Chains A and B, each alone.
Chain A
Amino acid sequence: MTAVSTVAQEVAGAGAELGPAVVVSGLTKRYDDVFAVQDVDFTVPRGSAFGLIGPNGAGKSTTFLVLASLLTPTAGRVVVAGADPAVDAPAVRARVGYMPDVMGVYDNLRVDEYLQFFAAAFRLPRASWPGLVDGLLELVDLTVKRQALVSSLSRGMKQRLSLARALIHDPEVLILDEPASGLDPRARVELRELLAQLHGLGKTIIVSSHILAELEEMCTDVAIMEAGRLLAAGPPQRILEELGRTRTVRVRFADGADATFPVADDTAQAALLRQLVVDDGRDVVEFTEEHHGLEQLFLSITEGIVQ
């Protein structure tokens, strides 16, 4: 079965309750001799928080532009919320909220006017605007800034307003390209909490970030890209297992010695502790599962190639 026919089947299923939110198959985007994205495949489960990770120039933004119907792929096929952006861009735009990596806003509009403009641009009924704007401003914690000019907002506030803009038409899928870029630590935490809240509301969130620790807390699935190619995709734990990175436990004893033990799962971990303390009678002062974080995973997969 060809990749395209597989995608075609998934198109039909994507609109269903349990179908994937996004299916990317053989995606390639070429500019002259440069491949921005080359033969990329991944699937984003519906309702997941999906992190797209990669160094600068990896092809993340290009992939996002294709998903958002702003770029036509050179080859391959993409299905977003049941529609192909290259074939039916309006259908994709109606179901996707896109926030680009560079933040542009209309400085001379008031905050409420800004959201009303986008409500009109999405052809939402005028009667729904006040409630919609109120709800979104409350969600992004900008209610007190309702009458303020956009130009008077801080960068973090503008980022939250931009997120509210992306949510104005209640999209199924949110595509956020580096949403935390340029934000101070507090604004980052607020944004992360907001995204977690949206994930809790059942939105499918596709996000890219350089701050891997932030994605780690939030993402249920990740894809790692480098030099336009996909290196790995799936739940982080599964990728680690596929890479042969088993769970390890670090133990420190009362006599100052320490050791690292590989364990398969929770049962094996409990058995190890029992063996050390009960069977061997060792004095254990610290028993810690070593954490293979996203950062470690990223570093172990990527090679630092820049194109």
Chain B
Amino acid sequence: MIVNPVIGREITERLRGLRAFIALSAFVLVLTLTAFLVYEAAGVNADAFDLAARTRVGRQVFESVILIMTVLVLFFVPGIAAGAIAGERERQTLATLQVTMLRPRSILSGKVVATVAYLGLLVVAAMPVLAVAYLLGGIRVVDIVRGLAAVLLVALLLATMVVAISAFAKRVQTATVLAYAFTVLLVIAGPLGFGVGALLDARSDDVGDRVAAPAVLLTVNPIVLVSDIGAGTTDSGGGPLSAVRDGVDEAKEANDDSWVALFPNAPDQGFDNDPLGRPRTGLPAWLLSTLSLAGLAALLFWGAARRLRAPAEVER
């Protein structure tokens, strides 16, 4: 089996630097602090013999840790991956890489996989924090697996986008600024678009003209993706992920239980992971989220591969 050599080189270089260990420590520290603060805020009030209350604390710790882990991933990925191609260009190693037998998509995918592998290491290092939530109760092993899978899926999609953005920048600094701006936009654009739509709707005088803001806008968002997968399947109270998921559900209900008000009453796709057994129609939010983000990532990746095909053309 031929393993993409870019992966090994990237990981070797990354782990040899001091920054990797500082980032790893910061990642685990922030998550530990999150678990501690949520436990302190919710746990101390819970009666030691009230198991239902204890499980609610476990659920809150779990959802808070997964949410903060997602936010950390959104913060770390631009920092790690923005220099993927721009860095090669800046240290003048890109040409030597491109006269090898590696194709542009191999170079790009190697960078993406190396970024995700490093984030995977961070996530694994944070497992003991999730184990605390598990011991408190209220979550199952499958919830942890789903939560971590969602975080890594977001890491993969965002890393693909950021590595691709890096191919369009000449300097690491430019790529970093672009990557962070893009990530912020990715997080706020959907809710902002939905909010503007809702505001315009509310200001419309003629009730007949009112069309509820399309809830589908909310799904183009990595946090919604993680929330919909990671909010869990047990009825053990809720945390921030459940709140996000419920918010998206409410927006959809305002669209006549469809994602877009213009096409109400979408057929039931048979997907049902609501703990209270409420019917959910249409495609699930996490799938719409994954499809939209994957589409965006694929488009950027294609553009980046095209740009790298004849590198000297764009180096002037």
Question: Of residues 73 to 121 in B, which have CB atoms within 8 Å of A's CB atoms?
Answer: 88, 91-102
For B312, what are the chain A residues with a Cβ–Cβ distance below 8 Å? 65, 70-71
Give the residues in chain A near B310, CB-CB below 8 Å: 70-72
Bound complex: CA A69 to CA B102 (Å): 13
Which residue of chain A is the closest to B97 with respect to CB atoms? Answer: A121
Stretch at the interface among A91-99, A182-190, A237-245, A279-287: A91-99
In residues 63-120 of chain A, which contact B (Cβ within 8 Å)?
65, 68-72, 90, 93-94, 96, 98, 100, 102-109, 113, 117-118, 120
A72 to chain B: which residues have CB within 8 Å?
310, 313
Query: B9 near A109 (CB under 8 angstroms)?
Result: yes
Closest to A96 in B: B99
Judge whether B25 is part of the interface by a CB distance below 8 angstroms: no
For B311, the chain A residues whose CB sits under 8 A away are 70
Residue among B6, B93, B96, B310 with max Cβ neighbours from chain A (10 Å): B96
Contact check, B9 vs A122: say whether CB atoms are below 8 A apart: no
Instruction: Say whether B13 contacts A118, CB under 8 Å.
Output: no
- Tell me the count of chain A residues lying within 8 A, CB to CB, of chain B: 30
Contact A70 to B2, CB < 8 A, known contacts A108-B13, A108-B16 = no
A60 within 8 A of B: no
Contact indicator A70/B95 (Cβ below 8 Å): yes
Judge if B12 is at the interface, Cβ distance under 8 Å.
Answer: yes
Query: Is B100 a contact of A93 with CB atoms below 8 Å?
Result: yes
Residue of B nearest to A165 (CB): B96
Residues of A within 8 A of B247 (CB): none
> Given the known A-B contacts A70-B95, A104-B96, are A123 and B9 also in contact in the complex, defined by CB atoms under 8 Å?
no
Instruction: State how many angstroms separate the Cβ of A173 from the closest Cβ of chain B.
Output: 12
Q: Are B100 and A113 in contact (CB under 8 A)?
A: no
State whether the Cβ of B8 lies closer than 8 Å to any Cβ in chain A.
yes
In the docked arrangement, what's the CA distance between A70 and B312, Å?
A: 5
Asked whether A71 lies within 8 Å of B99 as measured between CB atoms, the reply is no
Task: For A69, give its contact among B17, B91, B99 (CB under 8 Å).
Answer: B99
**A98-B312 Cα distance, complex, nearest whole Å:** 14
A104 close to B102 (CB less than 8 A): no
Cβ of A195 to closest chain B Cβ, rounded Å: 18
Chain B nearest CB from A164 CB (Å) reads: 12
Query: Are the CB atoms of A108 and B17 closer together than 8 Å?
Result: yes
Q: How far is the CB of B23 from chain A (nearest CB, A)?
A: 15
Closest 5 A-B residue pairs measured CB to CB? A104-B92, A120-B5, A121-B100, A104-B93, A70-B312
A-B contact pairs, 20 of them (CB 8 A): A68-B95, A68-B99, A70-B99, A70-B310, A71-B312, A93-B101, A94-B101, A98-B96, A100-B92, A103-B92, A104-B93, A105-B91, A106-B93, A108-B13, A108-B17, A113-B12, A118-B96, A120-B8, A121-B6, A165-B96
